[in-house]
Chain A
């Protein structure tokens, strides 16, 4: 199972370009989509989920064209959008039953089994009989994931799945993605790098509808190895360091402050080498792109 994207372009009415001729191959396993708001992540996901038609180019899910074979794609798809709601008068169980029926799971016993499994996976089994209208944002988020799992999808697309969840639930979900990924494709879109750092086998970084990077996390990190530093500083020194170095993160420690920077050579006396993280790589690639754009303008 894989997803092939060729020259995919989306121009919205009014001329806003959502995607600039994207080329991407998404293999089985957990695939991360990173990018700031407005980078085209949601546009790409909605096209793959058959909800948005591309202006040109094609996207194939398991060999089926998302535009021409919508039904076939939907049968193998689990999708959780970024923003969604449920019918407040139905219980969690009834809601999942409704969505299972939309997936054409008509055998009652089979439906019950799938619903119970999905509820257990998202830790909602105890609340199966409670009306969804009384659910908190986090509970709804988890129910959104449960409905996407009902048809045992070959392709699972989840847009910002951890927003609104407490830290424990976020960790639980990260583990769930790892469990679910196997011969299925899981596309996980987020702007929280930590969600992907632990489990994404491959990832793509989008910015303003363009692909900045696609590959394994190690490939993203390797150019930064030997160039990532930590500098111990006093608080007063922060603005000076910011002006002098390419800062990717600032942290408070017991002895003062620590600043993560990316530089080929370190001139600061309190600077020492560190292992690059996904956050470093992400900030670096984004900042570089912004710089290139500024140069283009000049």
Chain B
């Protein structure tokens, strides 16, 4: 009766899926009721409020910095919380009670436990972003839901990987300390400036395939090791093992690709990016041209603004002071609209999605682009940016005013940024 058999199997799978959902909820409750959760939520909310209270912090800037807190600080704690969750049965002496149940050593329980920890950490991210948003509303700063939603979504993959590392390594090694140390070592790799760290830094949004594949692969591997009798069949365990190996290999491949494309030497990158970086900004000559991606991932070229005076600002959301230049550009775009001023902001951040909320906040008058040559946003990011090299950017914010022939009219350095308006007035007057 093959039909009956497959029908039974489907019904069985549906039952297991429902059980996994129920167990996920209970695991979530278990994690949310720990003192660590409340300490993290309260501390995180405090940090978020502090950041949102800083002078000039817009919704996009506050959300960006909360995201940074989450993918760095909370991610490290996610490793420890994931590790604690995997070691809970041993700690609470409940292993035998759990293992003797039908789902006690199954992939379903592994999944539910991982999801429970992950969802609790996602909740902490939500609390932090919510606290920042409330602080902004109370402070009278314009509310911008998209900025918080964007930051929230960008927390999901890095938190999943961090949680999974702590959880899976502890379950695989059957030792909380070994699991936590292994996972923290992985997370610490980005602190070292080399190729491997670029592969390990999976926080940028565009890197999501690597953490997603590695998370899925590690969880499957955990299920194989932890679940000694999934459906009582060595065959299904072997299948799961192969699937884990394929996913981990694909994840490592994606990480290798990040490392390869993040090579320091520009010549090793995309030839177009190398060509952009090879240009130089020289007096009386046309300024270096470029193609970059805007907030909606459309290609924008400097040639699109030919015949118009241009305010080209380099900034990075990691530097709150530089982020304020976006607002100045917006004011200038409105003020000199009739004179045809084009305002372009180049975001120097390793995350392709970082500029999006700032673009939405600035509105259609400012063209926000992201230098896709950037792969490692910390430290001297402008020297690692093809556009930064072409324009010889040494600090942010730096604004280049170009005349209608795209020649350099003026260069406004960070210390003189408040002189931007007067320089702009001169640019449009000289037309």
Contacts and interface: CB of A to CB of B under 8 A. Distances in A.
Interface of A: 46, 49-51, 68-72, 74-75, 77, 79-81, 83-90, 94, 97-99, 101-106, 144, 147, 151
29 contacts: A49-B100, A50-B99, A50-B100, A68-B232, A71-B229, A71-B231, A74-B102, A79-B97, A79-B100, A81-B97, A84-B93, A84-B94, A86-B92, A86-B94, A87-B88, A87-B92, A87-B94, A89-B29, A90-B30, A97-B22, A101-B103, A102-B19, A102-B98, A103-B101, A103-B102, A104-B15, A106-B18, A106-B19, A151-B102
Contacts of B16: 104
B97 A144 contact: yes
B102 A102 contact: yes
A51 B98 CA distance: 10
Interface of B: 15-16, 18-19, 22-23, 26, 29-30, 33-34, 88, 92-94, 96-104, 109, 229, 231-232
Given A70-B232, A86-B94, A101-B19, A77 B100 contact: yes
B232 A98 contact: no
Interface centre among A86, A94, A98, A99 (most CB of B within 10 A): A98
Nearest to B35: A89
Nearest to A71: B232
Nearest to A53: B228
Nearest to A79: B100
B101 A94 contact: no
A102 B104 contact: yes
Contacts of A98: 23, 26
Contact of B33 (A84, A86, A89): A89
B339 to A, nearest CB: 65
Contacts of B88: 87
Contact of A104 (B96, B99, B102, B231): B102
A74 B92 CA distance: 22
Given A87-B94, A94-B29, 18 more contacts: A46-B96, A49-B100, A51-B99, A70-B229, A84-B94, A85-B92, A85-B93, A89-B29, A89-B33, A90-B29, A90-B30, A94-B26, A101-B22, A102-B101, A102-B104, A104-B103, A106-B15, A106-B18
Nearest 4 CB-CB pairs, A to B? A85-B93, A102-B101, A106-B18, A89-B33
Given A75-B102, A101-B19, A106-B22, A84 B97 contact: yes
Among B16, B30, B93, B232, residue most surrounded by chain A Cβ atoms (within 10 Å): B232
A46 B97 CA distance: 11
A75 B104 CA distance: 11
Nearest to A69: B232
Nearest to A82: B96
A214 B98 CA distance: 31
Nearest to B232: A71
Contact of B103 (A49, A87, A102): A102
Most chain B C-beta atoms within 10 Å of own C-beta, residue among A49, A70, A80: A70
A72 B12 CA distance: 13
A147 B97 CA distance: 8
